[in-house]
Structure 1
Amino acid sequence: MRILPALVIAASLAAPPVFADEDAVGLKPEQIGQIFCLSRTGSDEGAISGLLTPELTAAIADAWARNDAWIAANPPDEKPPLGDGIQWQAWPDYAPDCTVGLATLMKTDAKVEISYAFPDSPDANFTDTLLLRRVVNEASLLEQWRIDNVAYATGGDLRTALTEAFEAP
């Protein structure tokens, strides 16, 4: 029974409180960044699908619907606009290392740096930024952090990329 108090003390020391985040429940911005990194290095978008704002979820669904319409209207040997999937990061290359950097918290939004590293090519390293927003969970009526966009190291962002993928070159 002495193990439980020791674990509680250790957990409280490992996760200091963040005052700007005191009204939100659930995952902290840094934890969302960690899940995002696991998703990227594991090539599994399913891990983040429940961590998106309803607006970003709708924008992605719309992009997939537009992609399906494009496929139906074009020859099968042409690559569709989302042929490589959703552009979750600035560069499409698989980065073997993904780490969470600085998290900046405001009252209703947060930014979490996501750094991608290529051990064999360090010049290719880059850092994108998750843009989080607090949204009300309709089931619990409590606010939770959710991914609302990704700002790319190249200056663009995910929402813009979803739209521009369908614009004629």
Structure 2
Amino acid sequence: MKTSTLALAALFLLPTTTIAAEPTPADFGAAFCKGGIDNDMSAIEAALTPDLAKVIAEAEAKNAEIQAATPDEKPPLGDGLPWRSWPDYADGCEVGTIAEDAGKTLVEIRYSFTSSPDANYADHLVLIPAATGSDSWQLDDIKLIDGMTLRSVLAGAFEQ
């Protein structure tokens, strides 16, 4: 399983001259869906912008401090990183529309629930071209429902 995760991460990070086809935002969205369904976001974590990686690392460090200080209580990130609007497991995930917005690419991720179709919703990945100058993509944020973002949820998790 680690080998396939590393290969998927390489799809987004290696220059296009080393892979058969250029990865697209839709490919990134599909990898994001696969990671969410499989509960393994390591390939996506390998394709974060440096700034988002720093925000996540800082949030995880704060979370660990809180967990160590109060081991009998659930810390703010006790359900893991908020990769989607709701922590409930969605049994369906597909890539929707792809649009450009202020130099960033928005990839719609549609979550579905077989047993509760009324609970279906969509988030949007915010992608930017990789800093390496290749045609790969990096995740810079996630637009969640209700005007929230991954970054704002992480910041708000530690406000008191």
TM-score, shorter chain, exceeding 0.5 = yes
Could you say what secondary structure the match of 1:136 adopts?
coil
Q: 2:92 aligns with which of 97, 102, 113?
A: 97
Aligned match of 2:140? 148
Contact kept, 8 Å, 2:35 with 2:42, in 1: the verdict is yes
Deviation at 1:47, TM superposition (A): 2.3
Structure 2 runs not aligned, ≥5 long: 1-14, 17-21
Q: 1:67 aligns with which of 63, 69, 81?
A: 63
Could you say what secondary structure the match of 1:113 adopts?
strand
Identity %: 42
Report the count of equivalent residues.
Answer: 141
Provide TM-score, normalisation by structure 2: 0.82
- Matching of residue 55 in structure 1 with residue 51 in structure 2: yes
Aligned match of 2:157? 165
Deviation at 1:106, TM superposition (A): 5.6
CA distance in 1, matches of 2:138, 2:43: 13
Q: 2:121 aligns with which of 117, 126, 145?
A: 126
- Matching of residue 108 in structure 1 with residue 108 in structure 2: no
Structure 1 runs not aligned, ≥5 long: 1-23
CA distance in 2, matches of 1:81, 1:155: 20
Aligned match of 2:76? 81
> What's the CA shift string for 1:42-61, capped at 9, x where partnerless?
11111211121111111111
Could you say what secondary structure the match of 2:130 adopts?
strand
Higher alpha-carbon Rg: 1
Contact kept, 8 Å, 1:112 with 1:130, in 2: the verdict is yes
CA distance in 2, matches of 1:107, 1:70: 37
Provide TM-score, normalisation by structure 1: 0.78
Contact kept, 8 Å, 2:35 with 2:43, in 1: the verdict is yes
Could you say what secondary structure the match of 1:83 adopts?
coil
Output the aligned Cα RMSD.
1.7
CA distance in 1, matches of 2:102, 2:146: 27
Contact kept, 8 Å, 2:128 with 2:139, in 1: the verdict is yes
CA distance in 2, matches of 1:132, 1:156: 16
> What's the CA shift string for 1:22-58, capped at 9, x where partnerless?
xx95421111000000001111111211121111111
